[in-house]
Structure 1
Amino acid sequence: MTITKPKAKPSQTAESFISGAPDSEARQKGVKKGNKRQISLTITPALLERVDELATELGQSRAAIINMAIYRAVEHGLIKE
């Protein structure tokens, strides 16, 4: 029995190499969860408590309240006081 070298794998194209880079803009941030993306959010404890109170009052989840607030801000803009 003879020892054979494994066949070399075809090298990646330059485009696939570049698009795989960590700083490539083609890659979306966040973890895909169904048709949504999971992100990380940092919020003050006082504001989080108010969000939770509102969620309880409306019978919604914390995530639903945050999603609704972001949607309204994006669609209707922010009110300047």
Structure 2
Amino acid sequence: MAITSKPKPKAVEPIAADNAAAEAFIGGAPDASKAQPTRREAKKLISLKIAPTLLERVDQLAAELGQSRAAVINLAIHRAVERGLEIDGLGKA
């Protein structure tokens, strides 16, 4: 009996039509806008300090939505920029 190496799995290339369909689906979402970055535009890494109790609430919301912490924070920032932000009842900034 000969000893042979384990066969390497073949790389699967994504189908361009599937990618286009996925992009069209995502772009058709109600919260999609033309101002959102494309896949080619790199996101910037920032540092953010946040109160521990607020971070716990963000993590709870992320778990409820099945999203990451970063996704929830990004969505909140996006909505504030697009729809305005009310601060202590003083209207939208």
1:37-59 Cα distance to aligned partner (Å, 9 max, x none): 00000000000000000000000
The equivalent of 1:38 in structure 2 is: 45
Give the structure-2-normalised TM-score. 0.49
The equivalent of 1:47 in structure 2 is: 54
The equivalent of 2:78 in structure 1 is: 71
Runs of 5+ consecutive residues of structure 2 not aligned to the other structure: 1-40
Runs of 5+ consecutive residues of structure 1 not aligned to the other structure: 1-33
1:46 is matched by which residue type in structure 2? T
Cα separation, 2, equivalents of 1:58 and 1:35: 25
Give every structure 1 segment of 4 or more consecutive aligned residues whose post-TM-superposition deviation is greater than 4 Å.
none
Greater share of strand: 1
Which has the larger Rg? 1
Over the matched positions of the two proteins, sequence identity in percent amounts to 67
Question: What is the CA RMSD across the aligned residues, in angstroms?
Answer: 1.2
For CA contacts below 8 A with separation 6 or more, give which structure has more relative contact order: 1
Question: SS in structure 1 opposite 2:47?
Answer: coil
